[in-house]
Amino acid sequence: MIFDILTIFPDFFQSPLEESILRRARDKGSIEVHITNIRDFAFDKHAMTDDRPFGGGEGMVMKAEPLAAALQSIEKVIDTPRVILLSPQGRAFTQEVAGELAAEPQLIMICGRYEGVDERFRQHYVSDEISIGDYILTGGELAALIVIDAVTRLLPGVLGCAASAEKDTFSRNLLKHPQYTRPREFEGLAVPEDLLSGDHQRIEEYRFIASIRQTLAKRPELLARETFSKSEIKLLKKNELYAPIEEIRKGRIS
């Protein structure tokens, strides 16, 4: 998969892309990341990529011409690659959206800055806007890195254990169950006996119920969107968890 990043701060990406899973994915050829410096496509001697907004007001606006020229310089592997503007006005970036983007052969991401980009560029060139949360960053670079990381780990062969992605938090509308490792006891707290039983069904049932309890405690609204198999419903009822979930679905608990 190819990620093309348009930014005025190309050095921002150097260190993160050289670490952990992203570095291994690049070394294996699972992903390519190309950085385009928008300033290289500015038309004036000062390499200006922003200007004051028409009508007055605070801040600066990224100019349409250098953005368009930078975008047009990118080698496209398909006729109409997804062009994403990282913006607080975009749709929320979720695990579902990450899965959607992972099916694309190429993503072109534009890192907005200042008060945003010229609306004419957005209308003419941008096919998607994505927000990583309801807060404001200095620029879209951090958001682009988050998208790259979340999408990359979903690509075939990137993770050492494919099941890790399949069972992550948000792979369903559930938070992941608590995790434990050695030692068996830490400061008087023991690992739950179910996890030490060696009984795979017992372990899976324990983890499912623990996941439900985590979600009820921390993000109950997620359960309103989740569906369960007949065996899961039976297990929920046995542990007196089905009724609270039904209350959430009816909007009585938030």
What pLDDT shows up at residue 251? 84
In whole angstroms, what is the distance from residue 95 CA to residue 140 CA?
A: 19
What pLDDT shows up at residue 213? 97
What pLDDT shows up at residue 166? 65
The verdict on residue 67 lying in a domain is yes
Choose the catalytic residue: 40, 100, 104, 115. Answer: 115
The verdict on residue 78 lying in a domain is yes
Is 168 catalytic? The answer is: yes
Number of domains in the chain: 2
The verdict on residue 30 lying in a domain is yes
Residue 142 is part of a domain; what is its CATH number? 3.40.1280.10
Is 192 catalytic? The answer is: no
Domain identity same for 40 and 88: yes
Residue 189 is part of a domain; what is its CATH number? 1.10.1270
User: pLDDT by residue for the chain (254 residues), tens digit each?
Assistant: 999 999 999 999 999 999 999 999 999 999 999 999 999 999 888 889 999 999 999 899 999 999 999 999 999 999 999 999 999 999 999 999 999 999 999 999 999 999 999 999 999 999 999 999 999 999 999 999 999 999 999 999 999 776 666 666 677 899 999 999 999 999 999 999 999 999 999 999 999 999 999 999 999 999 999 999 999 999 999 999 999 999 999 886 65
Chain-centre distance for alpha carbon 147: 5
Give the range of the structural domain holding residue 232, as residue numbers without chain letter: 185-249
- Are 109 and 147 in contact by the 8 Å Cβ rule? The answer is yes
The verdict on residue 93 lying in a domain is yes
Cα dihedral sign, 15-20-26-27: positive
Choose the catalytic residue: 24, 26, 39, 153. Answer: 153
- Name the pTM for this structure: 0.88
Choose the catalytic residue: 168, 194, 226, 232. Answer: 168
Domain identity same for 104 and 18: yes
Domain identity same for 143 and 23: yes
Domain identity same for 218 and 106: no
- Are 203 and 197 in contact by the 8 Å Cβ rule? The answer is yes
What are the DSSP E strand ranges found in 105-217? 106-111, 128-131, 185-186, 189-190
Is 88 catalytic? The answer is: yes
What pLDDT shows up at residue 243? 96
Q: For helices 230-238 and 242-249, what crossing angle results, to 10°?
A: 110
DSSP designation for 116 = -
Of residues 8, 244, 11, 26, the one with CA closest to residue 149: 26
Choose the catalytic residue: 53, 88, 220, 244. Answer: 88
